[in-house]
Structure 1
Amino acid sequence: MDKSLENWQEKAVEQQKQHKQFLAKLQNRKGKGVEKHLPALHEEAFSKIDCLECAGCCKTISPRFKPPDIKRISKFLGMKEGTFMDTYLRLDSDADYVVQFTPCPFLEADNKCGIYDVRPGDCGNYPYTDSYDFIKRPNITYENSVICPAVYYVLDRLKKIVQ
């Protein structure tokens, strides 16, 4: 991992207040062109970060399982949709289906995903560092900054570009 990412989680916790203020500032400005930097910063971050070394997302949070995800994954696992849902999912406070417990039941010992080819759409899009959702959803980005080194990295670089 890149030297700037050493102790990233400690740094992220220390900088949470700054990150929250920075994201609020971006939200108030409606991005104002900041989003054009996100794809390059995303690529830069993932040239330095190997998700298999971390798997923080799979260990601590759950994606939403939308109906197409449930259908696709249950078919892949050879289960009826209802059985899949009863076995692995619960409704959260937003009425979204999420895994019953963390870590994700499909996370394997080597941090690989047991359903990678059919994983939920949220997993494929996470951590949203290459899209406007990164700015549009500041609370989620703020929370993800202590879960995912890529979010921390992109926030850190973006602050240097914008400020």
Structure 2
Amino acid sequence: MDLENFRLQSSSEFSKNKKLLPKLKKMKAKALDNAFEEAHDAKFRNIDCLTCANCCKTTSPIFLQTDIERLSKVFNMKTSVFIDTYLKLDEEGDYVLQSSPCPFLNQDNTCLVYEERPKACREYPHTNRKNMHGILNLTLRNTLVCPAVFEIFQDFAKDFRK
């Protein structure tokens, strides 16, 4: 995966993708959820996240208390020590990683804590969730992080031009 080329392309297309949001917001909830789920399934039949891992290299998931407790046990640490070692509070008061790339990202793009990874990592890039209306702005931002989400938006843009 050529991440530099992806960054340039996704940035240059961001305003076009943003213009797609009002059209997507006009769709009925079930139709939007189904469209995203179908697109998600189709993209991830052909995309291997291990060739990219841009999400792990550039962003942080939100760590829920249950995530913190689970990962603290994995590392045999007190939760307070885990927080002090790896996390910080963001502007919204959520726990996120102190730095990027993720400290649990291995050289081969695998995850050191894959079986115990945070809920946000399990659900990323959130394109096969219910209530897509509620996360369209997040999904738009994810076009800058995840090549699959970017491609989904590109495909949707083509569909709306038809």
What does 1:53-64 correspond to in 2, within 5 Å?
53-64=51-62
1:35 and 1:78, CA in 2 relative to 1: closer, same or farther beyond 3 A? Answer: same
Correspondence 1:52 to 2:47 = no
In structure 1, what is the equivalent of residue 94 of structure 2? 96
Give 1:8 shift: 4.3
1:43 and 1:124, CA in 2 relative to 1: closer, same or farther beyond 3 A? Answer: same
Percentage identity across paired residues of the two chains? 41
- Pairwise CA RMSD: 1.8
Residues 58 and 101, structure 2, Cα contact 8 Å, conserved in 1: yes
Aligned length: 158
2:122 to 121, 124, 128: 124
In structure 1, what is the equivalent of residue 22 of structure 2? 24
In structure 2, what is the equivalent of residue 39 of structure 1? 37
Q: What does the per-residue CA deviation read over 1:10-58, in whole Å, with 9 as the maximum and x for residues that have no partner?
A: 3322211111110133225554722212222111111111111111100
In structure 1, what is the equivalent of residue 77 of structure 2? 79
Q: What does the per-residue CA deviation read over 1:52-110, in whole Å, with 9 as the maximum and x for residues that have no partner?
A: 11111001110000000001111011111111011000000000000000111111111
In structure 1, what is the equivalent of residue 145 of structure 2? 147
3-state secondary structure, aligned to 1:111: coil
Give 1:149 shift: 0.8
Residues 86 and 97, structure 2, Cα contact 8 Å, conserved in 1: yes
3-state secondary structure, aligned to 2:88: strand
3-state secondary structure, aligned to 1:98: strand
Give 1:125 shift: 0.4
Unmatched runs of 5 consecutive residues or more in structure 2: none
Unmatched runs of 5 consecutive residues or more in structure 1: 2-6
Amino acid at match of 1:144: N
Give 1:162 shift: 3.8
Amino acid at match of 1:93: E
2:113 to 103, 112, 115: 115
Amino acid at match of 1:101: S
1:11 to 4, 9, 14: 9
Residues 52 and 111, structure 1, Cα contact 8 Å, conserved in 2: yes
Q: Normalising by structure 1, report the TM-score.
A: 0.88
More displaced stretch, 138-147 vs 69-78: 138-147
3-state secondary structure, aligned to 1:90: strand
